[in-house]
Structure 1
């Protein structure tokens, strides 16, 4: 399946528009990693555990979006976007969404 953040795929033509598809996940790291991140916040630098958390979350959200698209007969999802929101302290939702289409 083609997944793209642009509206067209060079050399391909959209033959059917199937609508919006989405996938999301809510993730949190355990309290020990939150404490370690708190110390890192004091001294600066990348919060590696949170970088890893968000990467895993994006991958899961895209996989779920792709599964939803396949279930309605799409062979591509175009104009893909991500949205992030805090659900509670230490937990966030990642939403991936785009337009499911059939391309030839």
Structure 2
């Protein structure tokens, strides 16, 4: 499966728009990460625990987006975008969305 943030795939012709596909993940904070984040906020710098958590969440959201496109019989997903939102105190959602398409063979 080809997937891209661009609206086209170089060297490929889009023949059909299958539809919008999404993949999302809701992540909750971990008490250990919160303690380390609190300490890190005092001295400054990257909060690696949160960086790792968000990277894992983004990767899982992409996997779910690709699975959704495969279920619809798509060859590729174009125009992928990401959004985040707070769901409730202590948790947030990352969503990937794009357009599933068929490509000329």
Instruction: Give the shorter-chain TM-score range.
Output: over 0.9
State the TM-score, normalized to the length of structure 2: 0.95
* 8 Å Cα contact 1:28/1:53 also seen in 2: no
Q: Which residue of 1 aligns with 2:40?
A: 40
* 8 Å Cα contact 1:34/1:90 also seen in 2: no
2:66 is equivalent to residue 66 of structure 1: yes
| Shift, 1:29, TM fit | 3.3
Q: Which residue of 2 aligns with 1:23?
A: 23
Q: How many residues align?
A: 104
Structure-2 separation of matches of 1:52 and 1:91: 15
Consecutive aligned runs of 4 or more in structure 1 exceeding 6 Å deviation = none
5+ residue gaps, structure 2, are none
Structure-2 separation of matches of 1:100 and 1:2: 10
2:32 is equivalent to residue 53 of structure 1: no
Give the root-mean-square deviation of aligned CA atoms.
0.9
Structure-1 separation of matches of 2:26 and 2:3: 22
Structure-1 separation of matches of 2:44 and 2:84: 23
State the TM-score, normalized to the length of structure 1: 0.95
